[in-house]
Amino acid sequence: MDKKLIVIAIGGNSLIEDTKHVTVAAQYEAARKTAAHIVRLAAEGHKIVIAHGNGPQVGFILRRAEFSRRILHTVPLDSCVADTQGAIGYNLQMALHNEFAKLGTSRPVATVVTQVEVAKDDPSFTHPSKPIGTFMTQEDAEYHRDNDGWNIVEDAGRGYRRVVASPFPKRIVELDTVRTLLDNGTIVIAAGGGGIPVTISEEGVFSGAEAVIDKDLAAALMAKELGADLFVISTAVEQVCLNFGTPEQKSLSDITVDDAKKYIEEGHFAPGSMLPKMQAVVDFIENSGHVGLVTNPENLYDAVNHGKGTRISPKR
């Protein structure tokens, strides 16, 4: 079998199997289960880059800050992303090492704290719309609006939530570092949480941005810039579906990029759920001419090797 460079994007929610048990130990166990399938691919000689989500984990950091706001400073969003890149990367590193040990082998694994450049004039900074964190009372919402400059929206009578910009990723700043590690046989964990959003001045000065970047779009950008042979999105379902959750639900096993674009236009995929994943896969395929896969963690290996999941190809 040809050895491939595979970029795998795993969701932050996939690290939480039970919302009633969200301890670090429970998240490690979820990471370990996913790592077991990735190790099987690595053992075949493939080069692997792993990107991961961090939505729930950033929410936990913000929640802790909420409880301690009277005695501790708030944490900027770019620092929240950096914190979760380190913590989740550590869990994945340990899980991968331990799963390799079960096979009686090893591969070096490294997490790269990754900055991703975004444009200062990205429209999302003017119209922030990405909800983050937990629901708040009106009193708490007004406190943060007045003291921290948060943008607040009311959510269907359930309370108030902070909304932030979600700018489009332009460049993976540490791409050369990722490439060097790959060339030396390292499994790389990078662009966690979509990457730490940074803007860059004309003088080359970096500044962190109060924003979050879509993890799948950042992973697709990284896959394109690395020249990946295969881009895999690991999510909650084995296959992408049309008419999801209805009696007319239909699973998709093998489609073309044109099929995917048509289904997107027809509104089959929910915003904030399957839609950005399909948009990311389409972007990767149209810019690389290579294949994308969408499946759940337990079918990662079989999606690459045995036709499981949903395969999106450049043409039929």
Kindly list the catalytic residues: 12-13, 130, 215, 277
**Do residues 145 and 221 lie in contact, with contact meaning Cβ atoms separated by under 8 Å?**
no
- CB-hemisphere CA count at 13 Å for 1? 12
The tokens for 17 are: 């199997």
Cα Rg, the chain, nearest whole Å: 19
- Give the DSSP letter string of 84-146: HHHHHHHHHHHHHHHHHHHTT----EEE---EEE--TT-HHHHS--EEEEEEE-HHHHHHHHH
Report which of 314, 311, 291, 313 is spatially closest to residue 238, judged by C-alpha positions.
311
Backbone angles phi, psi at 254, to 5 degrees: -145, 110
Residue 25, amino acid: A
CA distance 316 to 313: 7
**Do residues 30 and 17 lie in contact, with contact meaning Cβ atoms separated by under 8 Å?**
yes
For residue 115, the tally of other CB atoms under 10 A from its CB is 21
Q: At what angle do helices 274-288 and 257-265 cross, to 10 degrees?
A: 140
